[in-house]
A and B are shown apart, each in its own frame.
Chain A
Amino acid sequence: MGERAEKLLSKDTIKKIATRDAYGEALLELGRSREDVVVLDADLSGSTKTKKFAKEFPKRFFNIGISEQDLVGTASGLSLAGKLPFASTFAVFETGRAWEQIRQTVCYSHLNVKLVATHSGITVGEDGASHQAIEDVTLMRVLPNMTVIVPADGNETKQVIHAIADYQGPVYVRLGRSKVPLVMPDDYAFRIGKAHTFHLGKDANIIAMGIMVAMALEASETLKKDGLDVGVINMSTVKPLDTESVLRAAEKSGLIITAEEHSIIGGLGGAVAEFLSESHPARVVRIGIKDDFGCSGPSSELLKLYGLTPGNIANTIKENLK
């Protein structure tokens, strides 16, 4: 795991970038290389960072206004006309307000629509529960034909956006508002459906997504001092789940910890628990939001309040190894 995890502990040398900023840049790259790319937003283009694309390609950008259902429907129509639409707004509105449009139109008809939502999880911060999507992965994962991706950092986000442009079918990508450290190795290559195993631990393995990957790495580094060998897996594709990687982790250690900035119901923890309970029963402990709404506050404070910290991950592992 090495250098990056150590840097995470030292806090000062590692570069941080918000995944939404990486998305804005990736869209520009795509727009320049592909004529068929169109981008839609629902009055949040400054926040979702689609505004950059809008500026450079005004004819290929459509602001649909504050109407998420119409956003998804219009994106669907554009895909039917042969375009490659990226539709963005906040995660809670995209997956919640427009869920049935995503089900009926995008997924049932297997349309080539890319839903890239920002402002997921509690790190939205001060805006509070109304704007903090903590159930979006569950809502998207349950839909047939849907692919669900939660990048861990900015570099992975860029790779994800390019990868899904080359993939035919519905995709949901979950991005965040806050800056997160670059944790993926320089030679990392994202592939849809393939997890990245930093290393497998014999005492426990943490399967994490999104911002929790950095925290998992930090927790693992801390636990080394206690003589514990704890592995970390970045499960950036939540659906289809990389069951081989999950299985390998469960075979290596009897204890699996899942970590997500999301409800523990039906998200990454749910997916891992569903799979393991049927194929290789292991103890699965889910770290995430425990059937609760978020609230207002600085994102760093909220993460502590809801136990989404390297310290809590480490303590949870120690308690479960007693």
Chain B
Amino acid sequence: MKTTELKPDIASLKEKANTLRIEILKMLTEAGSGHTGGSLSAADILTALYFYKMRHNPADPKWRERDRFVLSKGHAAPVLYGALALSGYFDKQLLRTLRKIGSPLQGHPCSRKLPGVEISTGSLGQGLSIADGMALGLKLDGLSSRVYCMLGDGEIQEGQVWEAAMTAAHFKLDNLCAIIDNNGLQIDGRCHEVMHIEPIVKKWEAFGWHVIDINGHDMEAVVRALDEAETVKDKPTMIVARTIKGKGVSFFEGKVEYHGMAPTPEELEKALKELER
């Protein structure tokens, strides 16, 4: 089953991304804690993945030939949960249970609790290695399924990311496409103040990757980059998506404080007014 559309309908994808942002804000406000900024910055990319690019089947989450998505920056769980709910993996009402006792929607994604989550994440730096292993396994089986992996920009300060970068290039994993959500902020401040990560593009090129540098909020650019990645042979692709933390809500945008803070009910009301306009 192929649930993706063949031709991207950019307008409806933008609309979907907006709906996703609304769900993210609602579930975070209800939870009272969680990571707002990095969920909103990734919303356009996850929309393009779940509603345009990836072959997946919400009725059969373990479908063998599906494309896989690994959210290496696991703290952005709300954007993943929103995308899964809007795809139909589970009832949207479940989003209201985020971070509560007994909920399958853990603070960071848990694959044993929630169908659609490929692997538990939350400890940064591990997702790309896992994605490499998946890509190797799919190739061994001769499947054309692809693996997508989203990393945070601060996350690439983890050494394991570069181990995995070498592995992906060494084994010529052209069925792997990683995306860096480059919103420029991490908990303690601006990435370049905490620990320089630039030049990101040159680093990944030097590690043997095909790199595409885009504005991560330009839906057309996101879609084109994901299409391009599929045409690359013998190399993994890294999409460096330049994004804005808190994107979509004017008073969250670029604010480091909203890395790990949920909106208050008042903030939610104001934010919804902006998004529902």
Interface residue B264 (Cβ < 8 Å from any Cβ of A): no
A81 touches B136 (CB 8 A): yes
Q: Which residues of A, 302-317, contact B by the 8 Å Cβ criterion?
A: none
Residues of B within 8 A of A78 (CB): 133-134, 136-137
What interface size band does chain A fall in? 20 to 34
16 A-B residue pairs with Cβ-Cβ distance under 8 Å, sorted by A, are A65-B166, A67-B167, A69-B126, A70-B129, A70-B160, A73-B126, A73-B129, A74-B130, A74-B164, A77-B129, A79-B133, A80-B137, A81-B136, A81-B141, A108-B110, A109-B120
The 8 Å CB contact of B129, one of A65, A74, A83, is: A74
Q: Is the CB of A74 within 8 A of B167?
A: yes
Tell me the chain B residues, 137-158 only, with Cβ under 8 Å from chain A.
137-138, 140-141
The answer to whether B123 and A74 have CB atoms under 8 Å apart is no
Knowing A70-B167, A74-B133, A108-B120 touch, does A83 contact B126 (C-beta < 8 A)? no
> Is B45 part of the contact surface with A, judged by Cβ < 8 Å?
no
In order of increasing CB-CB distance, the 8 nearest A-B pairs are A77-B133, A73-B129, A81-B137, A70-B163, A67-B163, A74-B133, A77-B134, A78-B133
B4 at the interface (CB under 8 A from A): no
Interface residues of B, Cβ cutoff 8 Å to A: 64, 68, 110-112, 118-123, 125-126, 128-138, 140-141, 159-160, 163-164, 166-167, 170-171
Interface: A100 (CB within 8 A): yes
CA distance A161 to B160 in the complex (A): 29
Interface 9-mer from A16-24, A56-64, A122-130, A236-244: A56-64
A104 is an interface residue with CB less than 8 A from chain B:
yes
Chain A nearest CB, measured from B142 CB (Å): 11
A77 & B132 in contact (Cβ 8 Å cutoff)? yes
B interface secondary structure, majority: helix
A95 to B198, CA, bound (A): 32
Chain B's closest residue to A108 (CB) is B120
Alpha-carbon distance between A70 and B129 when the two chains are bound, in angstroms: 5
Q: A82 to B66, alpha carbons, bound, how many Å?
A: 13
The answer to whether residues A109 and B166 also contact, given A83-B140, A101-B126 and a CB cut-off of 8 A, is no
Known: A70-B160, A81-B134, A108-B110. A76 touches B140 (CB 8 A): no
The CA-CA distance from A101 to B163 in the complex, in Å, is 13
A45 CB → nearest B CB, Å: 15
- A105 an interface residue at 8 Å Cβ cutoff? yes
Is the C-beta of A75 less than 8 angstroms from some C-beta in chain B?
Answer: yes
B134 contacts which chain A residues (CB < 8 A)? 77-78, 80-81
Establish whether residues B141 and A109, one from each chain, have CB atoms under 8 Å apart when the complex forms: no
Whole-angstrom distance between the Cβ of B151 and the nearest chain A Cβ: 13
Secondary structure of the A contact surface, majority rule:
helix
- Contacts A67-B163, A67-B167, A70-B163 given; does A81 touch B138 at CB 8 Å: yes
B137 near A69: Cβ-Cβ < 8 Å = no
Minimal beta-carbon separation of A77 from chain B (angstroms):
2
Set of chain B residues within 8 Å of A73, measured between Cβ atoms: 126, 128-130, 132-133, 160, 164
Expressed in whole angstroms, the Cα–Cα distance for A241 and B160 within the complex equals 33
Contact B135 A77 (CB under 8 A): yes
Check if A110 is an interface residue, CB within 8 A of chain B: yes
Q: A101 contacts B160, CB within 8 Å?
A: yes
A59 in contact with B140 given A73-B129, A73-B160 (CB within 8 Å)? yes
How far apart are the CA atoms of A67 and B159 in the complex, in Å? 10
| Chain B residues closer than 8 Å to A110, beta-carbon distance | 112
B132 touches A74 (CB 8 A): yes
8 Å CB interface, A21-68 against B = 38, 59-60, 62, 64-65, 67
Instruction: Find chain B residues with CB under 8 A from A60 CB.
Output: 140
Contacts A78-B133, A109-B111 supplied; 20 other A-B pairs, CB < 8 Å: A64-B163, A67-B163, A67-B167, A69-B126, A73-B130, A74-B129, A76-B133, A77-B129, A77-B132, A78-B134, A78-B136, A78-B137, A80-B133, A81-B137, A82-B141, A100-B123, A101-B160, A108-B112, A109-B119, A110-B112
* Contact flag A70-B164 (CB < 8 Å), given A78-B137, A105-B130: yes
Asked whether, in the complex, the Cβ of A77 is within 8 Å of the Cβ of B130, the reply is: yes
